[in-house]
Amino acid sequence: MPHPLGNRPSKIIAVHLNFPSRAKERGRVPAEPSYFLKPPSSLAGTGDALVRPAGCELMTFEGEIALVIGERARRVTPGEAWRHVGWVTAANDAGVHDLRYADRGSNLRSKGSDGFTPIGPRLLDARRLDPAALRVSTWVNGERVQDDTTDTLLFPFATLIADLSRLVTLEAGDVILTGTPGGASVVSPGDTVEVEVTAGDLSTGRLRNTVSEADRPLEGWGAMPRVDDAVRADAWGPAHEARPALDEATAEALRGLSTATLSSQLRKRGLQHMTIDGVHPADGDAKMVGTAHTLRYLPLREDLFKRYGGGMNAQKRAIEELRPGQVLVMDARRDPSSGTIGDILALRARMRGAAGVVTDGGLRDSATVAGLGLPVFHGGAHPAVLGRRHVPWDTGVPIACGGALVQPGDILVGDADGVVVVPPDLVADLVEDAIEQEAQERFITERVAAGEPIEGLYPLGPGRREEYETWRREGR
């Protein structure tokens, strides 16, 4: 389907970093905006295929807000800039990381291939829009993966236009891609990417493109696709890092171990602060094993809550970011005097495949949550909504929950005694030693139940070691 601009623009200018959520993923916040060019031949419309070149594996999507210049801009001020924008629409700044090494900086082949800039489907009249009140959302195969608003941009749209026009004349019809939010990642042939820009009740409609594989090999003259683990990690981004790193065999072994044993083994390794204190299960029989996905609340500030607490806020994004096997871990500063999650969001977490929820704050709808079949550990039941005490702030960052430092990807184990945090790099040895500890404790329990005294038995002394080894060989 043709793109909605009609005539081809003289240039497409793309911004490297502009959304704070993306800058956080990249680990840097630029002092000034930086740009690269995409050729006009990369334009496409909704319904057009995103063709991944043969031999490439890392095709990425980036949902963006596209500005279409309506009036020639040359050396305009920020105060004058917005009147030079004619239209706003949705865009996908697609690319292949397999070729970035060849044109690092310019991104010509990795970002400029034919069809790599779909835009549309509808143009919104910029005169009817507040540039600080737009939302961009992206879905992959129907799952929302990006969602952000323009009220916190590093560089407002007027700044971009004024900055560019100091040295580069922006002609009518030129397109500016204004940066992507956090959540951009890799897609594969068969995946469908949808991007929508909204302003209140106004919408561009969903820009929809499906990834396909090129039907002919890439000719051998010139740079060829090349990837390594670092390139893969960069392309996948946090979506790759957040995939549960816990294999099922290890998870099953952890399910058979108590948090008391794990805490003891962590303490033997010098880790004294690995329990999430002050939390208890909504369902007393709950057993939880999974990897951490984190959410941080900050203290309530009424002037900021409307901006950060409404709509698709960090709390709701955290739920929608959950992947099977993950535990949503919330830092509410040990303040249980308002809820941090309730029955509807807990149900959504369960439907997303979550392994559990942990909050050092309050739990709403506690009786209903206890019956969901989802392990939920909380600091206390409370009927109030989170806005009484908390502002949902950010996700996927190291947090403090119940006095423990929790990083994304840490392993969480919970039972009736509470929750412990297990560093992933220690889990294999920890499980082996914990299994041995629990075997010894079963032996000791049998002997104590038979009426034996605990001296030399608990803890297991050298005088009882041979007896214990025999007991083990008998398969007890």
CB neighbours of residue 475 within 10 Å: 5
Distance between CA atoms of residues 195 and 181, nearest Å? 12
Burial class (CB in 10 A: 0-12, 13-18, 19+), 280: middle
- DSSP assignment string, 242-308: TS----HHHHHHHHTS-HHHHHHHHHHTT----EETT-EESSTT--EEEEEEEEEEEE--HHHHHHH
Q: How far is CA 80 from CA 73, 85, 125, 229, 297, in A?
A: 9, 10, 17, 46, 38
Is 345 labelled a binding residue?
yes
| Beta-strand pair 339-341/288-299 | unpaired
163 known member of a binding site: no
Of 285, 111, 281, 133, the residue nearest 201 (C-alpha): 133
343 belongs to an annotated ligand binding site:
yes
Strand partners for 411 = 291, 422
**Residue 468 in tokens:** 């214990």
Provide the strand spans (E) within 70-134: 85-92, 95-96, 117-125
**Amino acid code (one letter) for 455:** E
Rounded Cα–Cα distance for residues 153 and 169 (Å):
23
Closest-CA residue to 329 (of 285, 379, 286, 264): 379
Q: Which of 130, 137, 95, 101 is nearest to 114 (CA)?
A: 95
151 is in an annotated binding site: no
The number of angstroms, rounded, from the C-alpha of 116 to the middle of its chain's C-alpha atoms is: 24
Q: Are 357 and 318 in contact (CB under 8 A)?
A: no
Q: How far apart are CA 392 and CA 382, in angstroms?
A: 17
Q: Is 201 annotated as a binding residue?
A: no
333 labelled as ligand-binding? no
DSSP 444: H
Known binding-site positions for Mg(2+): 365
Residue set of the binding site for substrate? 342-345, 364
The annotation places the binding site at 342-345, 364-365
